[in-house]
Structure 1
């Protein structure tokens, strides 16, 4: 059984390798990592304990020398960016705020030195087609081995479903669903061509731990 283990600030996530077209060679992975316990594990509880605590981690550089992270300027995305750089991967950082992107990339290079970083400014709530075009141009010729689909938004505060305004509804669907899907479409062909790659989709425990997550229903639906 081929496993991928991802460490983010002391939390270990493990999953089976299931990337379409790669499973026969056991060199790819898709894992949904939530803010709660939304991880994919084999069903036997003892195996799950072993996989989460004792299974050896993967050498992520075997997937490729570059990783792409969306939403890398805060929280989980920023932690992923630093940890991937620690593992020796070069980075493509995709976010909407150029100042924050520079701050993160400068911090990574100050800490890890030789890591190459490309910053791509994309507002996922704006012209998504133009944003994906920028990403495709930035990754052309790069062996993107790891994709971290982290970008996402929630409600500014709890609301009943009928209180969710049209702009918020549009942004939730476009950023959380379409953004993740389109970035994956941009990166996956290269992984399939090289027959290796890992894709990590950041979900939320709101979609699993609390069914439908009352007062955040659309967010829960888009982050399942």
Structure 2
């Protein structure tokens, strides 16, 4: 009996279920194809300089992901405006990118914890002057702080939380607002905001409440700007790292060994993947393939298990800090 004859003899509901099952498998396969990053791997990497412009602004470029992003963008031929608070470290990364990759580099000293204060306003004025007249095609908002962490809200003076909010949320917003007008005038550009895996992997992040809240703002801010500005030729994206081998992550996590090596890329390998994802259509994305695999596994677990594991790790870190005297109980 041929296939057509077999199908004609089946009940309509059986055929309908078969069609629905095939469609479901196709959708799952399509999602896995994109989640895995295979779709992006099959594309040619974008020429960021040609697509967006000759200059990139990178905040927090002196260590970790920010430094690696600066080096990666310089390797791709972009000149850099490097914005951070430490003059000596700014000078070091400026000289490194110029010497290694032959690009131009400017530095702007800016302590983001002082944003919207007289000193912060002066730094913002210097930043606007630094980018005036430049073909700034890319902004990477990387600067961020996770301290204070593993503490109850009431254990830390309000000014410390305000400082974190200024750096992670307020400064990111003001720097974006300062750079966007030039992109709008030129009809092209990209804004990349570095978020945090805690906002996508966990429904709540005990003992890091303010940090997690500021990073969730970054994701929602990016989603909204993505819709607002894509008609003006500007790509806006929140890139979400999970565990990356940085000083910040070393302070937040206490486990190590083989497992941490398998799931924790170096800043350089993370930056290489992140640069490939710029402008590829997703308002919130996870550039590193290992991180995407982690997210698939996390989503298989109930919220209670994920939050419970996070709580256990935070309590362990908190106990160590109490022993060292770096946390004062109240």
What is residue 163 of structure 2 aligned with on the other side?
A: 171
RMSD: 1.4
CA distance in 1, matches of 2:160, 2:40: 37
What is residue 255 of structure 2 aligned with on the other side?
A: none
Displacement of 1:174: 0.7
What is residue 149 of structure 1 aligned with on the other side?
A: 141
Q: In the alignment, which of 195, 204, 208 is matched to residue 203 of structure 1?
A: 195
CA distance in 2, matches of 1:94, 1:122: 6
CA distance in 2, matches of 1:192, 1:149: 18
What is residue 48 of structure 1 aligned with on the other side?
A: 35
Structure whose residues are more often helix by fraction: 2
Query: Is residue 212–residue 221 contact of structure 1 (8 Å, CA) maintained in 2?
Result: no
Which protein shows a greater Rg? Answer: 2
Query: Is residue 62–residue 90 contact of structure 2 (8 Å, CA) maintained in 1?
Result: yes
Query: Is residue 169–residue 214 contact of structure 2 (8 Å, CA) maintained in 1?
Result: yes
Task: Name the stretch that deviates more: 154-163 or 165-174.
Answer: 154-163
Displacement of 1:57: 1.6
CA distance in 1, matches of 2:60, 2:129: 18
CA distance in 1, matches of 2:124, 2:185: 20
Query: Is residue 160–residue 215 contact of structure 1 (8 Å, CA) maintained in 2?
Result: yes
CA distance in 2, matches of 1:102, 1:120: 10
TM-score (norm 1): 0.77
Q: In the alignment, which of 114, 117, 130 is matched to residue 105 of structure 2?
A: 117
What is residue 240 of structure 2 aligned with on the other side?
A: none
Displacement of 1:134: 1.1
Structure whose residues are more often strand by fraction: 1
Task: Note the residue ranges of structure 1 that are not aligned, 5 or more in a row.
Answer: 1-42
Query: Is residue 128–residue 179 contact of structure 1 (8 Å, CA) maintained in 2?
Result: no
Q: Which structure 1 residue ranges, 4+ long, deviate > 6 Å from structure 2?
A: none
CA distance in 1, matches of 2:172, 2:39: 27
CA distance in 2, matches of 1:108, 1:61: 16
Q: What does the per-residue CA deviation read over 1:25-80, in whole Å, with 9 as the maximum and x for residues that have no partner?
A: xxxxxxxxxxxxxxxxxx82323333343232211002000000000000000001
Query: Is residue 148–residue 160 contact of structure 2 (8 Å, CA) maintained in 1?
Result: no
What is residue 76 of structure 2 aligned with on the other side?
A: 87
Aligned: 1:78 with 2:70: no
CA distance in 1, matches of 2:44, 2:154: 48
Aligned residues: 181
CA distance in 1, matches of 2:86, 2:163: 17
